[in-house]
A and B are shown apart, each in its own frame.
Chain A
């Protein structure tokens, strides 16, 4: 920056004012924001493809053994799954509110909504914990380890492999989301964000919506087979 006195040609690089959040290699705050957002969208694409492998496995085994999937699905508790769906949908709403208040520069409500989202994610995990432990209690394990007396069919293990792998990986995403949102909430409390700069809020909210959407697919596909 120094040493180029005649720097003020055409485009904006004569940093008259240089906001603290603007990293040196970006020309403007908009560029930085757009880059972060595009990066997050691309990351979400990779997430969808990660899950797509599992969805394909699901489709293959369901087409081959529809009756097994139907019977095995009955062992899942649709009420708990439904509850979790509502919980996650609500959390998507609260995180959207967080972005909204970030844009308005309303720090108090921003922080509130972020913590609310983290709390709802916690509720989701607690419900999942009860679901899992109930399954383990009945020796409902994935694949070759499946040993539940109440339902013995060939390939029923595959259903539960898919169930545990998909919901397990989804659950990991929820945990990661809780971590990220907590970090953002702490930053928000310190007053880092303003209506000019709220990129981390926006992109973590995008991530959180994806976690939510994936569950929206998992729930009917696993719990509601008739």
Chain B
């Protein structure tokens, strides 16, 4: 869509009908850096610009399913849940940021019964930080928003707990705090906030670590089975991997443009 048509659409107010309003809506949206927010539309916020911060045009994750073992997966999940104070609640009201599911369920549309080795394999799943995220589109308070570098973030203090984003996410990536999570956290990490009851949460691509110059915690402990980098940079690890190997994404037919890629 060219810029003229886009601004025409915007002018006509058609975006309010729920189309993606992701492109910089400079008329209504305060673009650029800083946490300023659009008056009306969900906007793209800038990412932190600190000196140490890792920066990217479009962050993405690549998971190499051939290198990924159950042990590594376990380590990744543990480190993610520990650093982010994710409670272990043993009921169906659980909270999960990073978890595993059977390959044939994660990629139902892309597997068949004769992929015998693959279909039963546990596969890591997490928020895909979609480029065209339905969760951002539906949120009535902009508590879920997208940064200019693509990370889909949440403002826990803004969220009203309507759970519309959970209905909208076609990957089941979000969890809701049905109750106070603190009693279910073994050792609270003071470096990261805990959540309160009544808000939604999910993986945030370790935005707090990127701001300090570190890669995501799961990537760091993945023994090379995961890569993280800038899709806009042809020389980045992720681009090199995606150029060299065959990769798939979850439910590509929905047009959400997931930014977590799985190497086969």
Do chains A and B stick together as partners?
no
Residues of A within 8 A of B (CB): none
Residues of B within 8 A of A (CB): none
